[in-house]
Copies of this chain bind each other. A is one copy, B any other.
């Protein structure tokens, strides 16, 4: 799932950033503004998607789990694999599956070969829920992306890719000297 933080309504403007730059000389105002804008656009879109899904009682991560199951030829997977593909902990996945099970959108059976495993399967009701949600989702994504021409979209992808390659700067020991 996509898990963001910071729903910045109020990104600092250049004036405020200048104040911070006075105290922290490392500050590069343009970099910070670009960075925060990128985060904000992603965060707002993510919130928009959520509110769309909420209209179908599909809170956040549960939708993604259903999609992961639908991708599989036998509509099945295990909690561990789902957790890995969704990028959440196994503990979180337990909670998501509990909720989906309560609404009977998935079923669970104990594994035969490996008795530690549990097999999660998309039910007919789960598939029906996706059939209800997905057309509107795709329509909205199309509408959103019509903001860009095809060339612009490719351009955006390539710019994002350049940034994405440096995503590890925030980790423990980035090489900070260029």
Contact = CB atoms under 8 A, between A and B. Distances in A.
B43 A168 contact: no
A86 B7 contact: yes
Given A5-B2, A42-B43, A87-B9, A28 B142 contact: yes
A112 interface: no
Interface stretch (A12-20, A101-109, A116-124): A12-20
Contacts of A30: 145, 150, 153
A6 interface: yes
Interface in A1-33: 1-10, 12, 16, 19-20, 23-24, 26-28, 30-33
Contacts of A16: 71
A70 to B, nearest CB: 8
Contact of A31 (B42, B46, B142): B142
Interface string A75-89: 000000000111110
Interface of A: 1-10, 12, 16, 19-20, 23-24, 26-28, 30-35, 37-52, 55, 60-61, 64, 67-68, 70-71, 84-88, 131, 134-135, 138-148, 150, 152-153, 155-157, 159-160, 162-172, 174, 176, 178
